[in-house]
Amino acid sequence: MKKLLTAFLGASLLFGAVAANATPEQDRQQLLEYYKHKFPNLKFDDYVHGALNFNPDALSQYFSIMEFPPYDSQFDKGRKMWETPFKNGKKYADCFPDGGKNLAGHYPYFDEKLSKVVTYEMAINSCRKANGEDEFEYKDMKTMGLLTAYSRSLSDGMKMSIKVNGPKATEAYEKGKAFFYQRRGQLNFACATCHVQQVGNIIRTEYLSPALGHAAHWPEFRAGEKVTTLQTRYSQCIKNVRAKPFNQGSEEYNDLEYFHSYISNGLPMQTPVFRK
């Protein structure tokens, strides 16, 4: 009966979620219930570790690696950027409440005045522009990637707290949700194909991670010192299913990140992290 329920719920999430007239919180609770039935031994906070939960040896190695992270030198470059004054003498910390501490878990949010989703990277660029600096390219990992890796660490341990209030915000959320469940590319995969329906299975020698918890631990440092942001990962995944990726910072990715982040509400941020 339990297996039947899990299979039924997984199918309904994958194929019926876009059409369902559910609130964002109902979506989140439905996913939580699905994962709870599929992985009864996992605790809620465990989901910040992603696919590592399915390989005890890999999880143990991760904890050991994080005692002396191999990305420290790159992380320090991000710290230096954050602390270096702009030409006008101000710093990034001056743009954000409490110097940017315990803040990143509120991003993305829907800005009513701009009538669009605002990501953390967009806030960084708004800060730069307000202080007479050129904006960074969202795909530039040597600038935007390293800077966000450090600045988001100021919110390490903060619980994700994304808000969806009002019809316009809900519309953006629904667009992101539709993107998540829409099949695309030559492989005809959706984000949900791997991260809901097939989560926990192995593909290309790697376990497929649950969508719950994804947004709580980015940016990641991969293979040592190579930083990767969440939207960079979106592009990589879309390429893997043989579809054309969108530009980072596009409305499509921003709305996807809005939905993707909301479903991780309540999880503690753990950023940055190491992944092989």
237 is catalytic: yes
User: What radius of gyration do the chain's Cα atoms show?
Assistant: 18
Q: Which CATH number fits domain 72-153: 2.40.50.140, 3.30.565.10, 2.60.120.590, 1.10.760.10?
A: 1.10.760.10
Tens-digit pLDDT profile for residues 33-50: 999 999 999 999 999 999
- Whether the per-residue pLDDT at 8 is higher than 90: the answer is no
Averaging pLDDT over each range in 11-25, 143-157, 217-231, which range is the top one?
143-157
Tens-digit pLDDT profile for residues 130-154: 999 999 999 999 999 999 999 999 9
Chain region(s) in the chain for CATH 1.10.760.10: 2-68+166-275, 72-153
Tens-digit pLDDT profile for residues 54-65: 999 999 999 999
Q: Could you give the CA distance from residue 140 to residue 168 in angstroms, rounded to a whole number?
A: 30
Q: Is 88:131 a contact under the CB 8 Å cutoff?
A: yes
| Domain 2-68+166-275: CATH architecture, name and number where available | Orthogonal Bundle (1.10)
Q: Which one is predicted more confidently, 220 or 4?
A: 220
pLDDT at 21: 77
Query: Over the chain, what is the mean pLDDT?
Result: 92
pLDDT at 3: 44
Q: Could you give the CA distance from residue 16 to residue 20 in angstroms, rounded to a whole number?
A: 6
Taking alpha carbons only, the member of 16, 52, 74 closest to residue 209 is 52
Query: Catalytic: which of 95, 127, 191, 237?
Result: 237
User: Measuring CA to CA, how many Å separate 179 from each of 96, 174, 236, 251, 258?
Assistant: 30, 9, 15, 11, 11
